[in-house]
C-alpha cells in the first residue's frame, strides 16, 4: 500500500462514519489538530501511541498503523502553484507578503529563518457580523544562519547585531 492510498482509506472511513476532524483529533489526541489532521492526510507522522489510537479508531491493520508512524515524504504530489483556491490563497499570501515578512524578521532578529519544524500553529474561528473570520497564528523558532569560517571576534551566527 502507498501512503496516498492509506490517506484515501482514512478519508473514505471518515465520510462513511460522518466524523468531523475535531472528533477524530479528540480521539487521537496528543498534539495540535493541525498536526493530527496533517498526519492523517500524509504530511506528518503520528507518535506510536497516536498511530495505535488512529488504527483502533479507523480499524487499520498493523502495517497501516506503522505507516502512520513513519516520516512522510512531505509535499509529495503537491502541484506548484497550488490549484485549490483555498490553498492558493496561502501561496498568494506568501508571494505578496513574504518579502515584507522577510525584511521585518531580519530587522528584528537578524540573518536567519523562522523554523517550520520547531513551530506552533493554531486556527480559530472568529465570529463577525459581516462574515466569520479565520484566524491563523504561527510561531516558529528563529534559526540564525551560521557564518562558516568565522574566527576570533568575528560573528559566527546571524543574530541581530546591536
3-state secondary structure 11-48: HHHHHHHCCCHHHHHHHHCCCCHHHHHHHHCCCCCCCH
pLDDT given at position 135: 96
Please calculate the CA angle 13-26-125 and round it to the nearest 5 degrees. Answer: 100
Cα–Cα distance between 94 and 55 in angstroms, integer? 36
Q: Do the domain assignments include residue 112?
A: yes
* One domain, residues 62 and 9: yes
- pTM higher than 0.85: no
Q: pLDDT tens-digit profile of 117-147? A: 999 999 999 999 999 999 999 999 999 998 8
What's the number of domains the chain is made of?
Answer: 2
pLDDT given at position 63: 98
Catalytic (active site) residue 161 = no
Q: pLDDT tens-digit profile of 3-14? A: 999 999 999 999
Q: Do the domain assignments include residue 43?
A: yes
Catalytic (active site) residue 125 = no
Q: Which domain holds residue 125?
A: 85-144
Write down the catalytic residue from 22, 115, 133, 139: 115
- Is residue 162 scored above 80 in pLDDT? no
Q: Find the CATH number of the domain harbouring 132.
A: 3.30.1160.10
Q: What is the mean pLDDT of residues 58-70?
A: 98
Write down the catalytic residue from 4, 8, 89, 122: 89
Catalytic (active site) residue 92 = yes
CA dihedral sign of residues 135, 116, 47, 55: positive
25, 29, 35, 40: CA torsion to nearest 10: -60
Q: What is the mean pLDDT of residues 46-67?
A: 98
Q: Do the domain assignments include residue 154?
A: no
Which residue bears the cell 547585531?
161
Cα–Cα distance between 66 and 124 in angstroms, integer? 31
Q: Do the domain assignments include residue 150?
A: no
* One domain, residues 133 and 91: yes
Write down the catalytic residue from 5, 8, 92, 122: 92
Q: Do the domain assignments include residue 124?
A: yes
pLDDT given at position 147: 86
Q: pLDDT tens-digit profile of 72-109? A: 999 888 889 999 999 999 999 999 999 999 999 999 99
Nearest alpha-carbon partner for 92 in 107, 74, 80: 80
* One domain, residues 97 and 63: no
pLDDT given at position 121: 92
Q: Do the domain assignments include residue 152?
A: no
pLDDT given at position 161: 82
Amino acid at each position: 500500500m502507498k501512503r496516498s492510498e492509506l490517506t484515501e482509506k482514512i478519508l473514505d472511513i471518515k465520510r462513511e462514519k460522518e466524523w468531523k476532524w475535531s472528533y477524530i483529533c479528540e480521539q487521537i489526541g496528543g498534539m495540535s489538530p493541525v498536526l493530527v489532521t496533517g498526519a492523517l492526510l500524509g504530511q506528518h507522522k503520528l507518535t506510536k501511541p497516536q498511530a495505535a489510537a488512529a488504527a483502533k479508531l479507523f480499524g487499520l491493520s498493523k502495517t497501516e498503523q506503522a505507516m502512520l508512524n513513519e516520516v512522510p515524504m512531505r509535499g509529495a504530489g503537491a502541484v506548484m502553484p497550488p490549484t485549490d483556491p483555498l490553498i492558493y490563497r496561502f501561496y498568494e499570501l506568501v508571494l505578496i507578503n513574504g518579502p515584507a515578512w522577510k525584511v521585518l524578521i531580519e530587522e528584528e532578529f537578524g540573518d536567519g529563518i523562522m523554523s517550520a519544524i520547531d513551530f506552533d500553529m493554531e486556527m480559530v474561528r472568529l465570529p463577525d457580523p459581516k462574515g466569520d473570520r479565520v484566524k491563523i497564528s504561527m510561531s516558529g523558532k528563529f534559526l540564525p544562519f551560521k557564518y562558516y569560517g568565522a574566527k576570533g571576534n568575528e560573528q559566527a551566527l546571524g543574530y541581530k547585531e546591536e
